[in-house]
Structure 1
Amino acid sequence: MPKRSSTLTPSSPTKRVKGDVSQGRLDSFFAHTSSMGPSNINERTAGPSRRNSQMDDGKIAFEIAKGEGLDIETTRRLEQTWGSKIAAHSSEVIDVDALDNELQGTSLSPALKESFEVSKSVLEGLSHIPYAVKVPKTSQSKSRGNFSSPTRIQVETSSVSPSYPSLAGDPITLSSVDCPWNPVSPPPYSFLAYTLSSLSQTRSRIAILNILTNAIRFVIQHHPQSLLPALYLLSNTISPPYLSIELGLGPSIISKAIRHVSGLTPVALKRLYNSTGDPGDVAFEAKSNLRTLIPHPPLRIQTVYDSLLNISQSKGDGATKQKQAIVEKLLVAAKGEEIRYLVRTLSQNIRVGAVRTSILTALARAFVLTRPPGMRSPPEDSPYFAGTDLIGEVKENPNIENKKTAIDTARGIVLEKFASAEGVLKKVYVQHPNYDHIVEALLEFGLEQLSDQVKLTVGIPLHPTLGSPTRSLDEIYERLNGLAFTAEFKYDGQRAQIHALKGADGRLTVKIFSRHLEDMTDKYPDIISLVKYILETSETQSFVMDSEIVAIDPNDGSLKSFQELSNRARKDVKLEDIKVSVCVFAFDLMYHNGQVLLEEPFRARRECLSRHFPAVDPGLQGAARFAHVECCESEDGRENVEFFWQRAVEGRSEGLMIKLLDSGEVIAESSTTSKTRRKPLPATYESDKRTMAWLKLKKDYVTGLGDSLDLVPIGAWHGNGRKAQWWSPILLGLWDETAGQLVGVCKCMSGFTDEFYKNLSARYSEGSESCSRNSQWNCNTGGLRPEVYFRPQEVWEIRGADITLSPISIAAMGIISPSRGLSLRFPRFIRVREDKSIHDASTPEFLAKMWRDQEGRGRNTTGVDDGELVDADLPGSSGEEDDDTEITISS
């Protein structure tokens, strides 16, 4: 059936939809209950309480219509004709066109017509009742009340999307004055879906930034209240990362919702998933030929975001049904591309290139070009605003992606403003990662006052500084070129950012965040006890500290393994239940007593840390200990530094962290010429940067340390962020001669170049003979469940930090432990072994021997296995080679 008009006009004649497969699927869904089995009846028929609620909503619809100005006679006629059907829970089909015909000849203004159309939409719940469908007008069904079990129904495709202008144009010259949607209404979700669809069709970073910038500009100019939910939906999140707000939607809930709305059987849905491989594509195909009883009002960006929040807040008994009901309501109202990206959002994988860095860049550029209505524009010389006069001087640049294209003076000025705006916004975000606070400040004060309004705040984690990997001490001395540094033990624990505040009323607030800004305060009541002791016995009122939490022996303070630490419960831990003691090894101080220390060199920050926070053992029952990381200064001489490194290799640390003490300059070679230049190297705390002022020297990075393994790629997962179009991580396997099969041992996502990723994706393209969603080859992956399986056909040389007992891997199970296998921690790709076949790959026996050897050397052998590897998109990465991007979530 053609798409229903938004006005109340009679339906035009329609043609029957062709296609036996789709029609048969719909026939099955909308068949009379007599042809259904009991389970289908229960599934497709709403319960009494639900129907009563829907009927009440139907009555309310007419009350709304009455209140909007319908005359008494028309309202009474409608109530008599349709209200009685609703009140009686009528099982006959409600003919939508007949309802429209009731209004013919009634004098209604366009606004009242639209109001009544919206009021009808509350009947959407009836679309779940099998009889509530639109049937063709035949001789058997001309009079209402004679709707026998239909054998054919007319349907309307939902793949038609509103027409929007292209968003890929140059933002500097593209006008955002004309609203792309109805200007009297908030922006529809279809506009956001159109934006996401446009992003998915390009890999060009310039095009991605243009699309995001233009989309955000339209929202800022025409409905700034929708900016915040739009940013969260574009970033595939619903809250700041440190808040424990999760959708909690399992695949089964989404699957049931799609089946309920579309009428597909589980078998048909599974078949559709096998052919498309994406939940969003499945939902789009499942609902592409389906229509609802009454046209729904368009989904709004705010509505979708609020629905996601409601899903996250559904707790306790009945939460699953509540979540499914919300998902179904969204799916029923969604149309076209909205369906695809709605389900991808619910699945937390929108599969577009809009990573956080791109969104922040686009947001900054949008505010340079566009200000919200009513905000006073800053002067033309503002470094964060391009006025209309300046933009008017910018020349069209059709070859904007060509770096050799000449840039006119006006465009150059705008680009400088872009750079300034991006710098300030990114700096604010990494120190205060909260879109709510940032958007509020931007809409009220603009970029000019953003830094003053949104500052580093105790209780809100900042993104930590990251270290760059190096291969040897020789490389470190060469890179730093005589600059003073300190070498610190890199403890094998859990990085923690500790926030503490003593209020004016004496109340103490303590927060502990992980490297990835997750709130893990409830996991460490012993550290909370320690921090309260420190605040009560010192003059410190507030601080933000960077540290490593390490398991220790409570008797002598000796270090224990990371696996010991991982054995602690993760939530709602009671102080009296703690069995694994810990020590907090502090190594940096970013904030103290109201003073932000980020711009201070590391030497000054470390001195402040030592002066105000001496090592302490509170001696309280269950309280953690506090100490400083053990270190060695470069001024002590290279011989002492090398001896310190040897201690790290032989001890229970992962290696060394080399940190520049004072800001300086290093000699850098140009990537395009052979010329060298002096490059500033700050020793400040660089949030969210992998800086050369922090160098990481780990055991597994050092050539010649331990044996490597020859492993076979046997599966993979879809990458995230920058690697969304590639396979990452890769599942690797050993050759088990006894079982005659490959056995999964670990995931790997480090050591690959972008070129290798591209070639890998070509060799194992999804759906080819070498890549399948089902396990077609003789491989045992144990508890590791890849999204796709690879045909075993090549061998890779892999080096790792150490061998670990694993609750997931089954490699070598029974050789070392009867219930646990072995896995490789922090695996890193070295090269492809073209001289070896898969039968020449390393064996479980060889892996077990490596484990015994490292046990004999007293190396750290018990770091917990992987849990789940998360693909990280590293800001500022050149893309030439991955750094150490493994993120381990302990199980």
Structure 2
Amino acid sequence: MSKRQASSSAAASPRKHPKRAPDQSSLDTFFGASTSPAAQRNPKPQTPARQSDSAQAPIRPVGRPSSPAHPRKGSSGNLQHSAAPEVIDVDLLDDPEPAGPSSSGPRDRPPFESGPPKTGSGQPTSDLGAVTKVSAPEYPSLSVDPIAFDLGVALWSPEAPAPYSFLAHALSTLSETRSRIAIINTLTNTLRAIIRFHSASLLPSLYLLSNSLSPPYSPIELGLGPSIISKAIQDVSGLTSAALRRLYNQTGDPGDVAFEAKSNVRTLIPHPPLLICGVYGSLLKIANSRGQGAVKQKQSIVHKLLVAAKGEESRFLVRTLSQHIRVGAVRTSILTALARALVLTPPLNLPTPATVDSPYLVSAELLAKVEPLPTKPSKKIVDDARLQVVDRFSAAEALIKKVFVQHPNYDHIVAALLEAGIDGLAERVPLAVGIPLHPTLGSPMRSLDEVYERISGTPFVAEFKYDGQRAQIHAVRDDGGILTVKLFSRHLEDMTDKYPDVISLIQHVFSSSPDLSSFILDAEIVAVDPNGGLKSFQELSNRPRKDVQLHEIKISVCIYAFDVMYHNGQILIDLPFRSRREILRTKFPPIKLSQPGAARLDHVESCHSEDGRDAVEEFWLRAVDSQCEGLMIKLLDHGEVVENAAGSKEKSRKKPLPATYEPDKRTSAWLKLKKDYVVGLGDTLDLVPVGAWHGNGRKAQWWSPVLLALREPDTGRLVAMCKCMSGFSDVFYKAMKERYAEDSENCSKRPLWGHVETGGYSPGVYFRPHEVWEIRGADITLSPVSVAARGLVSDSRGLSLRFPRFLKTREDKSPEQASTPDFLAGMYRDQQGKGRDQGGADEGQLVDVDLSEAADEDDDDE
């Protein structure tokens, strides 16, 4: 389960921890919520009635006779109505409840049948007039070179809000390509058109493209179950739940089901188009529905959206509702496209930009000089005008990405861009207390020798890498003395309510420091015993997680602070680590309160390179034998890093390496030496690949991660125990995708091999078990997801492997010779006996997490 979980200050209600997008198991029940298994096995025969063709779904008016009506239009720009299951009767638009299914005729029809519905006699189904099908608007290609994209002609009605059909067109284009160039071009042209023709739709578009509704630290939770969406599709399309199930079995995607289900639906009167702002506003209404009747209200909103959706809108609307839009637009791509869009198309309401003086904007004269790209462009661009535009692109991208990682809030960024343009962005959206910045990430090393080779004599400090939860602590005391404290996780989620003891500690820090007004600390929250000894992450994960009261805390924690990014109104991230470390240690001394169970504040245990290599190696061995995960090696001063491409005959080059705090970068100024990274540490397992998920980012064309299983010798079953996405080369990925081609004899969307038990894992595809891989891991952990070895160590939980890494394919072994649950349980007991219970996740959520997946996702975003 990935730690990465990709959020607007628009909602006034309290935020909850964001829900993970529906997994495959919930999608598998997506369209079966209202149908019992018995009913699916033995469906009732349809009554023929007047229609003789049971394959056609009749379209007929439901309810009272038709009369002129004026549907009410809400503030979002969408029709406020409820639709009957099989036909949209304009007189029923304001009815509070949709009409129920008709019993006078069959409702089921083949999922992909096209053409107008017919009755058995071929006569119209109603005497109210002809039904109509409104075709989706035509838009130009969005994947073309943005410099050549023509905005001279409005893409929708002048001065009208941006239609959702345009965004659906963009999402459709994105879903059809894996080319990064095409993705960036499509996003750039989409945002250019929105900025030019309706800039108020820019913010909702960014959230909808990023599959979110608000910043990650103030998440707005949709709270939609699959049954709400499936019922809305069923009501709007007129299909039975069995027909929807057949559609889902054929397509495997709820958005595709909605598209096919609505493909034959006709309406008596065309509906006003959905708007981008309207769809986003409706999603906020769903998220903010509370109390009695909330489910009914959510159902009504989803129903109205689907009634008004046309063509591709249905597909991507349902994918958005199910929080899985399936396009290759990661955050970095969106920010890149936003920067390029602003370079080419600054907001119209700004004063005439001085494009000559701006390092980001381009003039019309310069654009006119850019030559069209050839059909087969060469690797090197020789067009001087285009090179100048590309330079502007690079400068704008660097600015927007820098602002975003320090202040990840689209609301604030878009407001500043529309008010002052890209030139005024950094001044209006600075790093601020209360808004988490993306943390600096460490680069993994395999040995101390590799560390010394990389840093080439630059002074460093080695620090214990504690096995806890990374926390970013924000605190500010206003002029009235009111103190505000916020805690954020590694992935910027607000976890303040989890740690009231930490809040109490910070209050003590301010009460004992009258000159202190604000700070941002980077720290690790670690479970400790009464004597200060370290406890495992597993014990930290047993603390309550929501609405925790101070008197309920039974597991004490220590805040091991290792960096400070902000202090008393001063931004410190541009200072070298030596200076930041000095401020941290002088301004925030260790604190141990006398109250039982109170949180503590301390500095990470460390060792300087000036102490000599022998001291550093001894310090490393202490880390290996302790409850720590390893070491973090951090440069104290700006230095240089040695670069030499493998196989290159050129001499090694030295590249400047700043010791600044680099948000969201995996920098060589921070090197991560973990116990599981060191060659030769830990036993290996022989596991069988039994499934996989579609990759993300750079790995989108491959299977990643892969689900691995043990074999139970008594039953012959294969039992899934962990996901793996580390240790593979690109060559291996390609070969694996060929070996496990989708819908081949080795790969299926459905579980065809019954002797495989996946437990809590729900892969996107299932593999035919026929080969064995050798896997090395860091530690064995109790897992709420895996059922491997359940009952051998714990009655309620199975065992899983932390940080699994592929070593090689065991061609000399068959699945019958794979490792067994007894062998895994023995490894776990040996680990416990050595005091190496690392049972939990690293640096993030208190759940069973595959950190190799999180690390690779970070790499993809970079």
Q: TM-score, normalised by structure 1?
A: 0.83
* Structure 1 unmatched runs, 5+: 1-20, 33-44, 65-85, 97-119, 148-152, 884-891
What's 1:479 paired with? 454
Deviations 1:299-352 (A, max 9, x none): 111011111111111122222222122111111111111111111111111111
Q: Please say if residues 721 and 873 of structure 1, whose CA atoms lie closer than 8 Å, have aligned partners that are also in contact.
A: no
Decide which of 549, 553, 557 is 2:525's aligned counterpart.
549
Deviations 1:6-25 (A, max 9, x none): xxxxxxxxxxxxxxx99745
Which letter does structure 1 place at the counterpart of 2:189?
A: N
Deviation at 1:452, TM superposition (A): 0.5
Alpha carbons of structure 1 residues 248 and 138: separation in structure 2 relative to 1, 3 Å: closer
Which letter does structure 2 place at the counterpart of 1:762?
A: E
Q: How is 1:227-306 mapped onto 2 (pairs within 5 angstroms)?
A: 227-306=202-281
Q: 2: distance between equivalents of 1:635 and 1:128?
A: 79
1:711 maps to 2:687: yes
- Secondary structure of the corresponding residue to residue 524 of structure 2: strand
Q: 2: distance between equivalents of 1:736 and 1:811?
A: 9
Q: Please say if residues 157 and 288 of structure 1, whose CA atoms lie closer than 8 Å, have aligned partners that are also in contact.
A: no
What's 2:820 paired with? 843
Q: 2: distance between equivalents of 1:551 and 1:789?
A: 39
Alpha carbons of structure 1 residues 706 and 671: separation in structure 2 relative to 1, 3 Å: closer
What's 2:20 paired with? none
What's 2:11 paired with? none
Q: Please say if residues 200 and 353 of structure 1, whose CA atoms lie closer than 8 Å, have aligned partners that are also in contact.
A: yes
What's 2:785 paired with? 808
Bigger shift: residues 507-516 or 567-576: 567-576
Q: 1: distance between equivalents of 2:124 and 2:603?
A: 85
Q: 1: distance between equivalents of 2:643 and 2:485?
A: 42
Which letter does structure 2 place at the counterpart of 1:858?
A: G
- Secondary structure of the corresponding residue to residue 653 of structure 2: strand
Q: Please say if residues 530 and 625 of structure 1, whose CA atoms lie closer than 8 Å, have aligned partners that are also in contact.
A: yes
Which letter does structure 2 place at the counterpart of 1:726?
A: W
Alpha carbons of structure 1 residues 232 and 25: separation in structure 2 relative to 1, 3 Å: farther
Alpha carbons of structure 1 residues 713 and 90: separation in structure 2 relative to 1, 3 Å: closer
Q: Please say if residues 127 and 293 of structure 1, whose CA atoms lie closer than 8 Å, have aligned partners that are also in contact.
A: no
What's 1:860 paired with? 837
Bigger shift: residues 120-129 or 628-637: 120-129
Deviations 1:188-227 (A, max 9, x none): 1110011111112222211111111111111111111111
Q: 2: distance between equivalents of 1:183 and 1:62?
A: 23
Q: How is 1:582-601 mapped onto 2 (pairs within 5 angstroms)?
A: 582-601=557-576
Q: 1: distance between equivalents of 2:606 and 2:228?
A: 52
Q: Please say if residues 802 and 825 of structure 1, whose CA atoms lie closer than 8 Å, have aligned partners that are also in contact.
A: yes
Alpha carbons of structure 1 residues 484 and 325: separation in structure 2 relative to 1, 3 Å: same
1:330 maps to 2:286: no
Deviation at 1:709, TM superposition (A): 0.9
Q: 1: distance between equivalents of 2:518 and 2:430?
A: 15
Bigger shift: residues 210-219 or 849-858: 849-858
Alpha carbons of structure 1 residues 876 and 489: separation in structure 2 relative to 1, 3 Å: closer
Bigger shift: residues 280-289 or 769-778: 769-778
- Secondary structure of the corresponding residue to residue 425 of structure 2: helix
Which letter does structure 1 place at the counterpart of 2:57?
A: D
Q: 2: distance between equivalents of 1:95 and 1:306?
A: 25
Q: Please say if residues 487 and 632 of structure 1, whose CA atoms lie closer than 8 Å, have aligned partners that are also in contact.
A: yes
Q: How is 1:551-630 mapped onto 2 (pairs within 5 angstroms)?
A: 551-553=527-529, 555-620=530-595, 622-630=597-605
Q: Please say if residues 355 and 722 of structure 1, whose CA atoms lie closer than 8 Å, have aligned partners that are also in contact.
A: no
Alpha carbons of structure 1 residues 757 and 330: separation in structure 2 relative to 1, 3 Å: farther
Q: 1: distance between equivalents of 2:684 and 2:295?
A: 47
Q: 2: distance between equivalents of 1:670 and 1:571?
A: 49
Q: 1: distance between equivalents of 2:738 and 2:683?
A: 30
Decide which of 725, 744, 748 is 2:724's aligned counterpart.
748
Q: Please say if residues 576 and 637 of structure 2, whose CA atoms lie closer than 8 Å, have aligned partners that are also in contact.
A: yes
Deviation at 1:63, TM superposition (A): 12
Q: How is 1:436-451 mapped onto 2 (pairs within 5 angstroms)?
A: 436-451=411-426
Which letter does structure 1 place at the counterpart of 2:639?
A: G
Deviations 1:771-814 (A, max 9, x none): 22332221122233333321111111111111112233222223
Q: How is 1:877-888 mapped onto 2 (pairs within 5 angstroms)?
A: 877=859
Deviation at 1:402, TM superposition (A): 3.6
Deviation at 1:517, TM superposition (A): 0.5
Q: Please say if residues 553 and 597 of structure 2, whose CA atoms lie closer than 8 Å, have aligned partners that are also in contact.
A: yes
Deviation at 1:622, TM superposition (A): 4.3
Q: Please say if residues 121 and 296 of structure 1, whose CA atoms lie closer than 8 Å, have aligned partners that are also in contact.
A: no
What's 1:169 paired with? 144
Deviation at 1:693, TM superposition (A): 0.9
What's 1:225 paired with? 200
* Structure 2 unmatched runs, 5+: 1-50, 75-80, 108-115
Q: Please say if residues 132 and 269 of structure 2, whose CA atoms lie closer than 8 Å, have aligned partners that are also in contact.
A: no
Q: 2: distance between equivalents of 1:381 and 1:804?
A: 58
Q: Please say if residues 368 and 418 of structure 1, whose CA atoms lie closer than 8 Å, have aligned partners that are also in contact.
A: yes
Q: How is 1:714-725 mapped onto 2 (pairs within 5 angstroms)?
A: 714-725=690-701
Deviations 1:693-744 (A, max 9, x none): 1111111111111211111111223334443443332211111111211111
What's 2:770 paired with? 793
- Secondary structure of the corresponding residue to residue 202 of structure 1: coil
What's 1:783 paired with? 760
What's 1:203 paired with? 178
What's 1:889 paired with? none
What's 2:296 paired with? 321
Alpha carbons of structure 1 residues 319 and 236: separation in structure 2 relative to 1, 3 Å: same
Which letter does structure 1 place at the counterpart of 2:782?
A: L
Decide which of 461, 467, 470 is 1:492's aligned counterpart.
467
Which letter does structure 1 place at the counterpart of 2:809?
A: V
Deviation at 1:429, TM superposition (A): 0.1
Alpha carbons of structure 1 residues 340 and 59: separation in structure 2 relative to 1, 3 Å: closer
Which letter does structure 1 place at the counterpart of 2:473?
A: I
Corresponding residue pairs, total: 786
What's 2:672 paired with? 696
Q: 2: distance between equivalents of 1:482 and 1:725?
A: 41
Q: Please say if residues 727 and 807 of structure 2, whose CA atoms lie closer than 8 Å, have aligned partners that are also in contact.
A: yes
Q: 1: distance between equivalents of 2:765 and 2:294?
A: 32
What's 2:619 paired with? 644
- Secondary structure of the corresponding residue to residue 374 of structure 1: coil
Q: Please say if residues 56 and 117 of structure 2, whose CA atoms lie closer than 8 Å, have aligned partners that are also in contact.
A: no
Deviation at 1:480, TM superposition (A): 0.7
Q: Please say if residues 171 and 327 of structure 2, whose CA atoms lie closer than 8 Å, have aligned partners that are also in contact.
A: yes
Q: 2: distance between equivalents of 1:95 and 1:824?
A: 57
Q: Please say if residues 133 and 267 of structure 2, whose CA atoms lie closer than 8 Å, have aligned partners that are also in contact.
A: no
Which letter does structure 2 place at the counterpart of 1:685?
A: Y
Deviations 1:276-313 (A, max 9, x none): 11111111111111123321111111011111111111
Decide which of 815, 819, 823 is 2:796's aligned counterpart.
819
1:460 maps to 2:435: yes
- Secondary structure of the corresponding residue to residue 560 of structure 2: strand
Deviation at 1:390, TM superposition (A): 1.0
Q: 2: distance between equivalents of 1:219 and 1:212?
A: 11
Deviations 1:566-606 (A, max 9, x none): 11121111111111111110001000000001101111111
Q: 1: distance between equivalents of 2:68 and 2:737?
A: 53
Q: 2: distance between equivalents of 1:546 and 1:583?
A: 13
Q: 2: distance between equivalents of 1:836 and 1:775?
A: 23
Q: Please say if residues 292 and 332 of structure 1, whose CA atoms lie closer than 8 Å, have aligned partners that are also in contact.
A: no
Which letter does structure 2 place at the counterpart of 1:812?
A: A
- Secondary structure of the corresponding residue to residue 304 of structure 1: helix
Bigger shift: residues 671-680 or 503-512: 671-680
What's 1:27 paired with? 57
Q: 2: distance between equivalents of 1:688 and 1:154?
A: 58
1:418 maps to 2:393: yes
What's 1:669 paired with? 644
Which letter does structure 2 place at the counterpart of 1:681?
A: L
Deviations 1:469-501 (A, max 9, x none): 111111101111111111111111000000000
- Secondary structure of the corresponding residue to residue 653 of structure 1: coil
CA RMSD across the alignment? 3.3
What's 2:317 paired with? 342
Q: Please say if residues 124 and 293 of structure 1, whose CA atoms lie closer than 8 Å, have aligned partners that are also in contact.
A: no
Q: Please say if residues 236 and 345 of structure 1, whose CA atoms lie closer than 8 Å, have aligned partners that are also in contact.
A: yes
